[in-house]
């Protein structure tokens, strides 16, 4: 059954954990969907496979290109697409234009925007009122890497309260779910208990309503993983071994037979 945004809130009420992962192409998206992943995020972590150091250079056209491929591989999961840096922060109309392009051109069901500060809450309110499903994202927001670094956020009382209040404001703006990235477990628990909509944690402890990780991190395909990622298999090693075996066989004229 195709996953809907409303379904996620029902799952929260039922205490059923939400499983989310990122995908950037058709092949991986299809495998995630067949493995019954609930939510597939076309993250701007796409930077990893395009060889960018940060998510900042990613363009809307690049996101759309990859989101279309992902969407073609997915039958059931809810597909959410990140709006990249400076394609929604400038004005409500810029955000509307970018989100509209993503939904109309890719067939994805929702977009994700970073930040819970007042101007972003206003933007998200307008998107939701216009019929665009939005997922929020607070805590560590990687598009602000040059201000925040990649450190855990919300460690002091004051910073924790700010993130807590941002999450509440985003729920009021109408987001259907919210990513909590790299914040203390206790803060994530408080937000999760306070909100009616589900929290999807990444580096935010086990009490969130769901979890998301970058797929290349869990597969051991990324050059380096964040400290909170768990590596379930080592694809860099698997691929390197396979390629080396092939190279040897070609050079020694063992393949093809
Ligand atoms: O871009 C991304 O992959 C993300 C998730 C890790 C939340 O935003
Ligand atoms: Na992202």
Tens-binned pLDDT, residue by residue, of the chain (257 aa):
899 999 999 999 999 999 999 999 999 999 999 999 999 999 999 999 999 999 999 999 999 999 999 999 999 999 999 999 999 999 999 999 999 999 999 999 999 999 999 999 999 999 999 999 999 999 999 999 999 999 999 999 999 999 999 999 999 999 999 999 999 999 999 999 999 999 999 999 999 999 999 999 999 999 889 999 999 999 999 999 999 999 999 999 999 99
Nearest alpha carbon, ligand 1 atom 4: 43
Does the global pTM surpass 0.95? Answer: yes
pLDDT given at position 1:
85
Confirm if 176 and 197 have CB atoms less than 8 A apart. Answer: yes
Q: Percentage helix, strand, coil, to 5, in the chain? A: 45, 15, 40
Ligand 1 geometric centre to CA of 242 (Å): 29
Distance, in Å, from the CA atom of 238 to the CA atom of 113, rounded to the nearest integer, reads 35
Ligand 1 pocket (Cβ < 6 Å) reads 22, 41, 43-45, 82, 179, 181, 202, 212, 214
Q: Is the interface score ipTM higher than 0.95?
A: yes
Dig out the tokens for 237 from the structure.
């090693």
Distance, in Å, from the CA atom of 223 to the CA atom of 227, rounded to the nearest integer, reads 13
pLDDT given at position 3:
98
Distance, in Å, from the CA atom of 249 to the CA atom of 237, rounded to the nearest integer, reads 18
Ligand 2 geometric centre to CA of 150 (Å): 13
Nearest alpha carbon, ligand 1 atom 3: 43
Dig out the tokens for 113 from the structure.
């925007």
Query: Would you state the CATH architecture of domain 5-213?
Result: Alpha-Beta Barrel (3.20)
């Amino acid at each position: 059954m195709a996953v809907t945004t409303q379904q996620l809130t029902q799952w929260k009420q039922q205490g059923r954990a939400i499983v989310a992962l990122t995908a950037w192409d058709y092949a991986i998206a299809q495998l995630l969907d067949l493995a019954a992943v609930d939510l597939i995020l076309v993250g701007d972590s796409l930077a990893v496979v395009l060889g960018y150091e940060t998510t900042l250079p990613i363009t809307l056209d690049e996101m759309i290109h990859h989101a279309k491929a992902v969407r073609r591989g997915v039958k059931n999961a809810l597909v959410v697409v990140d709006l990249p840096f400076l394609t929604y922060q400038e004005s409500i109309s810029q955000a509307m234009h970018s989100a509209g392009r993503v939904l109309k051109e890719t067939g994805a069901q929702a977009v994700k925007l970073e930040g819970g500060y007042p101007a972003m809450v206003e933007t998200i309110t307008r998107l939701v009122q216009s019929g665009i499903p939005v997922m929020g994202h607070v805590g560590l927001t990687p598009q602000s890497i040059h201000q925040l670094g990649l450190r855990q956020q919300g460690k002091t009382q004051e910073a924790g309260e700010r993130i807590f209040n941002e999450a509440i404001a985003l729920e009021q703006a109408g987001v259907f779910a919210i990513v909590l990235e790299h914040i203390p477990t206790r803060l994530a628990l408080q937000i999760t208990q306070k909100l009616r909509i589900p929290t999807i944690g990444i580096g935010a402890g086990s009490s969130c309503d769901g979890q998301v990780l970058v797929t290349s991190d869990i597969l051991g395909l990324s050059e380096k993983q964040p400290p909170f990622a768990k590596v379930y298999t080592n694809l860099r090693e698997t691929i390197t071994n396979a390629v080396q075996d092939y190279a040897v066989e070609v050079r020694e004229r063992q393949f093809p037979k």
